[in-house]
Structure 1
Amino acid sequence: MYRFLLTPRWWGINVFVLLAIPICIFLGSWQLSRFEGRVQDHRTATEQVEAGSKEAARPLAELLPVDKATSGRRATATGRYGEQLLVPDRDLDGKRGFYVLTLLRTGSGKALPVVRGWLPGSADAAKAPAAPTGEVTVTGALQASETPGDNGVNAQGGLPRGQTAAISAASLVNLVPYRLYDAWITLDKGDSGMTAVPAAAPDNTGLDLKAFQNLGYTGEWFVFAGFVVFMWFRLLRRELEFLRDAELGLTPDEAGESRSVADPSGV
């Protein structure tokens, strides 16, 4: 009865099934491991940000370049404030507002973007407190340059003069007359009555859309593996029914009519 499984046609079907199932399981497992990796990165990054807020601040130069290990660490830098910009459309505690970003010119000849605090409402230079004059030493959480379009960072262009959508050297290079660090810090305490901006986890370490896409792809690959098995059994059943009908001397049309009479529902 099952000798048909050795025919060339079924050999091809069987080989496809035997290859497709492990490939689907492998790809599903790989996507699942990527999701689990992002969950672990998120947990580690959150713990690092919390730990970094309690540790002693270190000189900026010792923490550069910013990576997953140094992001969120407390850094200190000394210099004089220069150009000031606003970063619109930033949420804090469920409210829409803007960051006040001031460039700190350090003794190295570079400028460090410093988020001095957050204010509610639409971005308005008249609302932003002026930066302190003279030499200052700032302390805050070190952050990597933002990428427009990621983690809620606005990607729009055409902002009014004195505003930037993202805090990054690439976005600021044409707005200020300084060489820039590829990093920024957010002050531990908001300056001039502003609300301090909490440190954020590094890019690709949060449970964002990409993480849940990995989880969705995991389900798709496992479902496809199950669908392959289902279709193989369905083809096998149809082949067996055809052979039984042939043994009874029924043609395909007659077999269909016989089944319709026996079961009008067609099931």
Structure 2
Amino acid sequence: MYRFLLTPRWWGINVFVLLAIPFCLFMGTWQLGRFEDRVDSHRSAEQRPSAGAGRAAAVPLEELLPVDKETSGRLAEASGRFGKQFLVPGRELDGKTGSYVLTLLHTDGGKALPVVRGWLPAGGAAPAPPGGEVTVTGALQASENAGSNGVRAAGGLPEGQLGIISAASLVNLVPDEVYDAWITVVDSPSGLVPVPAAAAAGTGLDLKAFQNLGYTGEWFAFAGFVLFMWFRLARREAEAARDRELGLPAQDAPEARARV
């Protein structure tokens, strides 16, 4: 009855099924792995010491560059002299809107490091940076991009203000080369509130993470559908073969099987 499975037509169907099911299972497993990686990254970012925690020893800045998912949020240390200071308006902290106070640290390597010394409430006056050689410790952050993490490049800002914290926004404002990173200090001066380090991009449980989980279900469902359709086609073919063996006309086969 099942000799039809060896016909050329069914050889093609069988080969397709034998290739499609492992492929769907592989893709589903891969998408599940992507979701689990995002969950692990999210947990690691939550457990990583933040700028205010101070639970880990600071590492020299150069050892943590370039910033990636592993080094973002790590405590970095840099020495130099403070230079120009800017306000980064429109930043929220604890439900209130204010500004980041960003001061450029001119390091011994001849480059400028953006340092967020704290958050300033609206209407407040930013304290002047200390003079002379200083060493700052803070959580390392990647340069911001317009539109990322709700940050937008504000146009037409007054002099002394920035829309985003990035080397691109500072390159025409300072003579030195600017690091493609910034730090938010552990201890803010009086009048400022320490800014907590933000999680690295791609480490949160965002919509993309749950899309991976949804794709996992879809691929496993495809595998089940392929197997279901193979059994259904095989059953119908087997029933047709049995009808032919009984000598039943094709149009009378359903009624004849019902009587049997």
TM over 0.5: yes
Partner of 2:206: 208
The C-alpha deviation readout for 1:118-163, integer Å capped at 9, x for no partner, is 2456xxxx6451432523443221222234444x142456352454
List aligned pairs for 1:33-72, cutoff 5 A. Answer: 33-50=33-50, 53-71=54-72, 72=74
Q: Does 1:117 align with 2:118?
A: yes
Q: Does 1:250 align with 2:252?
A: no
| Contact 2:103–2:129, Cα closer than 8 Å, also in 1 | no
Distance in 1 between residues matched to 2:225 and 2:70, nearest whole Å: 43
Identity across the alignment (%)? 61
In structure 2, the CA distance between the partners of 1:45 and 1:8, relative to structure 1 (3 Å rule), is same
Distance in 2 between residues matched to 1:149 and 1:242, nearest whole Å: 62
Q: TM-score, normalised by structure 2?
A: 0.81
Structure 1 runs not aligned, ≥5 long: 263-267
Partner of 1:183: 181
AA aligned to 1:34 is R
AA aligned to 1:47 is Q
Q: Does 1:23 align with 2:20?
A: no
In structure 2, the CA distance between the partners of 1:91 and 1:83, relative to structure 1 (3 Å rule), is closer
AA aligned to 2:8 is P
| Contact 1:55–1:74, Cα closer than 8 Å, also in 2 | no
In structure 2, the CA distance between the partners of 1:54 and 1:84, relative to structure 1 (3 Å rule), is same
Cα RMSD, aligned residues only:
3.0
In structure 2, the CA distance between the partners of 1:24 and 1:98, relative to structure 1 (3 Å rule), is farther
In structure 2, the CA distance between the partners of 1:50 and 1:6, relative to structure 1 (3 Å rule), is same
Distance in 2 between residues matched to 1:96 and 1:6, nearest whole Å: 73
Cα distance, 1:235 vs structure 2: 1.5
Distance in 2 between residues matched to 1:167 and 1:41, nearest whole Å: 24
In structure 2, the CA distance between the partners of 1:228 and 1:114, relative to structure 1 (3 Å rule), is same
| Contact 1:129–1:192, Cα closer than 8 Å, also in 2 | no
List aligned pairs for 1:73-222, cutoff 5 A. Answer: 73-88=75-90, 90-119=91-120, 127-135=124-132, 136-150=134-148, 152-156=149-153, 158=155, 160-161=157-158, 162-222=160-220
Q: Residue 39 of structure 1: SS of its match in structure 2? A: helix
In structure 2, the CA distance between the partners of 1:96 and 1:11, relative to structure 1 (3 Å rule), is farther
Distance in 2 between residues matched to 1:245 and 1:156, nearest whole Å: 74
Of 233-242 and 108-117, deviating more is 233-242
Partner of 1:265: none
Distance in 2 between residues matched to 1:174 and 1:219, nearest whole Å: 50
The C-alpha deviation readout for 1:92-135, integer Å capped at 9, x for no partner, is 334454423222233432211111222456xxxx6451432523
In structure 2, the CA distance between the partners of 1:234 and 1:40, relative to structure 1 (3 Å rule), is same
Partner of 1:240: 238
| Contact 1:79–1:106, Cα closer than 8 Å, also in 2 | yes
Q: TM-score, normalised by structure 1?
A: 0.79
Distance in 2 between residues matched to 1:175 and 1:13, nearest whole Å: 67
| Contact 2:85–2:101, Cα closer than 8 Å, also in 1 | no
Distance in 2 between residues matched to 1:99 and 1:229, nearest whole Å: 58
In structure 2, the CA distance between the partners of 1:215 and 1:61, relative to structure 1 (3 Å rule), is same
Q: Residue 49 of structure 1: SS of its match in structure 2? A: coil
Cα distance, 1:62 vs structure 2: 4.4
